[in-house]
Amino acid sequence: MVRPFLRDRRGYSLTWAVGFLAILFVPLLVLGIEVGRWEHARGELYKAADLAALAAAQEVDVAHFRETGEVLLLPSALEVAERYVAANTGYLTRNGIAAHIAGIAVDQTLREVEVTVVADISGLFPAWVPRVVIRGRGTSEVRGRVP
């Protein structure tokens, strides 16, 4: 019973083809999933950075801006921006990743507030993937009547 099976090798090519395709497509599938996770996290971080910039721009010293035209942020700007980042990073928070504000800058010539948000998203990937840190930047224009 065993001997005819060993002599008839018609099914071997199908076995090798299936094995080859599995070796080829499984890594591509894993790569696609990992890129999707990275893109989702990056999109959420950029969204949070944009909303944090809008929140920080609302914390402008309006009286000083109207008098001088200079954009000066109130001390509460960082706290408000951090709350907006925390409120808009649900996917990252659910996966145990904390996004934080790396800096808030004011461009006086363009009258813009720029917020940079950073997150270490290495927890989304297998342990063999090197450290992955993403950085998102959001800007918001300050408008108003100036002398």
- What pLDDT is stored for residue 40 in this prediction? 94
Has residue 48 been placed in a domain? yes
Question: Is residue 129 included in any domain, yes or no?
Answer: yes
The pLDDT of residue 8 is 64
Pairing state of beta strands 133-141 and 99-107? unpaired
147, part of any domain: no
In this predicted structure, what is the pLDDT of residue 81? Answer: 97
Angle formed by the axes of helices 12-57 and 77-87, nearest 10°: 150
Q: Amino acid letter at 3? A: R
More confident residue, 11 or 96: 96
Q: What is the pTM of this model?
A: 0.80
What is the distance between the alpha carbons of residues 48 and 88, in angstroms, rounded to a whole number?
5
> What's the pLDDT at 109?
92
Q: Give pLDDT, residue 6.
A: 60
Can you give the pLDDT at residue 92? 93
- The answer on pLDDT for 13 being more than 90 is no
C-alpha closest to that of 34 among 106, 124, 138, 117: 124
34 part of a folded domain? yes
Q: Which domain holds residue 56?
A: 2-141
Q: Tell me how many degrees the CA angle 93-99-104 measures, rounded to the nearest 5.
A: 150
Q: Which amino acid is at 88?
A: N
Q: CA torsion, points 28, 29, 30, 32, in degrees to nearest 10? A: 90
For the chain, how many structural domains are there in total? 1
The answer to whether position 146 is within a domain reads no
| Rounded Cα gap, residues 34 and 124, in angstroms | 8
pLDDT averaged over the chain? 90
Output DSSP code: residue 145: -
Residue 5 pLDDT = 57
Report pLDDT for 16: 84
Helix (H) or strand (E) holding 107: strand 99-107
Q: What is the pLDDT of residues 130-146, one digit of tens each?
A: 999 999 999 999 987 76
Among 11-20, 64-73, 91-100, 114-123, the least confident range: 11-20
Residue 47 belongs to some domain of the structure:
yes
Average the pLDDT over 51-68 and give the result. 93
pLDDT in tens, 85-128: 999 999 999 999 999 999 999 999 999 999 999 999 999 888 88
